Amino acid sequence: MNNQIKTLEPKELWNYFAELNAIPRPSKKEHRAIEFAKNFGLSLGLETIVDEIGNVIIKKKATPGMEDRVPVIMQAHLDMVAQKNSDVDFDFDTQGIEMIIDGDWVKAKGTTLGADNGIGVSAIMAVFASDNIKHPDIEALFTMDEETGMTGAQELKEGLLNGKIMLNLDSEEDDEMTIGCAGGVDVLVEGKYKEKEMEGEIKSFEIFVSGLAGGHSGIDIHLYKGNANKIMNRILLRLSNKIGFGLKSVEGGSLRNAIPRESRSVISIKADKESKMFELIDSEKRNIISEYKTKEANLKIEVKEVEAEKKVFKGKKLKKTLDAIQAGWNGVFRMSPDVEGLTQTSTNMARIVIKEGKVNIDNLTRSSIESEKFELARTIKSAFKLVGYKVKFEGSYPGWQPDVTAAINTSMKEVYKKNFGSEPHITACHAGLECGLIKEKYPDVDMISFGPNIRNPHSPDERVQISSVQKFWKLLIDTLGTIPKR
């Protein structure tokens, strides 16, 4: 099926996308994609740089007649989010993505597709490989590890790039042009506990929350999708308040920038509490499914008996831990008072692992207001400090402040209107684009972000619209041909 992808238009873009998706490239393990990008530049005989962290920069001179135009940076990231359905046998470290054409959409077989940001990477390669696309001096900036830390943008050095306009190709609505984005910070909780022996006749049960839609923890956070970690904790807290139990383990969520889709726990109870446990879980299950029926039609909460576990986490500290997770913020904190419909500040309670004497809870807090980002981070910190757990802030990156006066905004609006008969939406987004970090190193560069329609990024339901890629490609090449003079 990947060969069939190569027949789509524009062929030059889809061919590079198929080649890129044949390469395993999960975040922090994208060394093969870095090599692919380096070899691409060298094969064209172009100046190609791989910096110390692994970013790839390729430079190409202007086409005849475009030498006096403002030089342009085209930017995208090489890594992809690695998410799959639990019933899919797939290894992101060794396998390439298996793609499917479904009408006007390309998607993957039970995994993330990598259209975020593989379409952007492929578009840049198609431009650089072409002999007939008009453009000024152009530079490709392929960054690494965007999805789990923006490491490439964080470590990018000054003085490597000459461009004065940057086209970031990492947006996901084809009628939008993004000129600002949220910053973020990881709020990481660490704690320890001692397992204790439960006395008497014990039964153990696995509780499994699954079937949630998941999605991008920034772009989709305002859709109020279910968070498997919060749903699981709600069930456990109900049981703790009514019958008590010992906790053997909880494992929920995976990546910090993906809304958790699944959570699994193992609990131990007194054998004579079994019927009451099922009664409580069934009651809570009915409430949860009813509350989420519009957004989460496939939500499942399943319980099955497993081998008895007597050595568990129990007592007051367990209860305080569950209370802290309940109190820890998840979802929208504040909508923007200035931009209608824009989430200003939010948190995703992304990953919870409680087992073998250790507690680890990872949250990603985002905001377009730096002070409010840390205000929410401190709110989360306070809940877990009350239990005595350590809380640290890591990987903070700035937002990208909009500049409505940038000439590229006007230029691209005119190109869009000429091609498609309407004006694009000029907006800011609640995602962590690399523009803010790059802007710190290159403050004189004007930036804008755009892309094709990509739905459900960061989840196995990710898909990209074929006709929208064609629209995106047209906008990109016409923009390059109409860059203003220096």
Q: Are residues 322 and 443 in the same domain?
A: no
Domain interval for residue 24: 2-181+399-481
**pLDDT tens for residues 52-81?**
999 999 999 999 999 999 999 999 999 999
pLDDT for 94 equals 97
pLDDT at 5: 95
CATH number, domain containing residue 150: 3.40.630.10
Q: Are residues 404 and 376 in the same domain?
A: no
pLDDT, tens digit, for every residue of 337-354?
Answer: 988 889 999 999 999 999
pLDDT value of residue 249: 98
- Evaluate whether residue 486 is within a structural domain: no
User: Which of 331, 365, 397 finishes a domain?
Assistant: 397
Average pLDDT, the chain: 96
In a domain, 58, yes or no: yes
- pLDDT tens-digit series, residues 442-455: 999 999 999 999 99
Q: Are residue 376 and residue 461 in the same domain, yes or no?
A: no
* Domain shared by 270 and 121, yes or no: no
Q: Are residues 389 and 349 in the same domain?
A: yes
Whether residues 90 and 150 share a domain: the answer is yes
21 within domain boundaries: yes
With bands split at pLDDT 50, 70 and 90, how would you rate the model's confidence at 333?
A: very high
For residue range 161-179, list pLDDT tens digits in order. 999 999 999 999 999 999 9
* pLDDT, tens digit (0-9, with 9 covering 90-100), for 97-150: 999 999 999 999 999 999 999 999 999 999 999 999 999 999 999 999 999 889
**Does some domain include residue 289?**
yes
Q: Which residues are catalytic?
A: 79, 146
Report the pLDDT value the prediction gives residue 1, as an integer from 0 to 100: 54
Q: What CATH number did the domain enclosing 258 receive?
A: 3.30.70.360
- Asked if 79 and 220 sit in the same domain, the reply is no
Q: How confident is the model at residue 385 (pLDDT cuts 50, 70, 90)?
A: very high
Which of 354, 370, 397 is the last residue in one of the domains? Answer: 397
Q: Is residue 155 part of a domain?
A: yes
Is 98 inside a domain boundary?
yes
The number of domains in the chain is 2
Position 404 confidence tier, pLDDT thresholds 50, 70, 90? confident
Report the pLDDT value the prediction gives residue 255, as an integer from 0 to 100. 85
Q: Report the predicted TM-score, pTM, of the whole model to 2 decimal places.
A: 0.81
Give yes or no: residues 306 and 419 share one domain: no
Q: Do both 163 and 65 map to the same domain?
A: yes
- Banded pLDDT at 86 (limits 50, 70, 90): confident
Instruction: Decide which of 397, 430, 462 is a domain's last residue.
Output: 397
Does residue 96 lie within any of the structural domains?
Answer: yes
Q: Are residues 214 and 301 in the same domain?
A: yes
Asked whether residue 158 falls in the same domain as residue 279, the answer is no
Whether 219 is covered by a domain: the verdict is yes
Q: Which of 243, 246, 241, 238 is nearest to 199 (CA)?
A: 246
Per-residue pLDDT of 288-332, as tens digits, reads 999 999 999 999 999 999 999 999 999 999 999 999 999 999 999
Q: Are residues 294 and 214 in the same domain?
A: yes
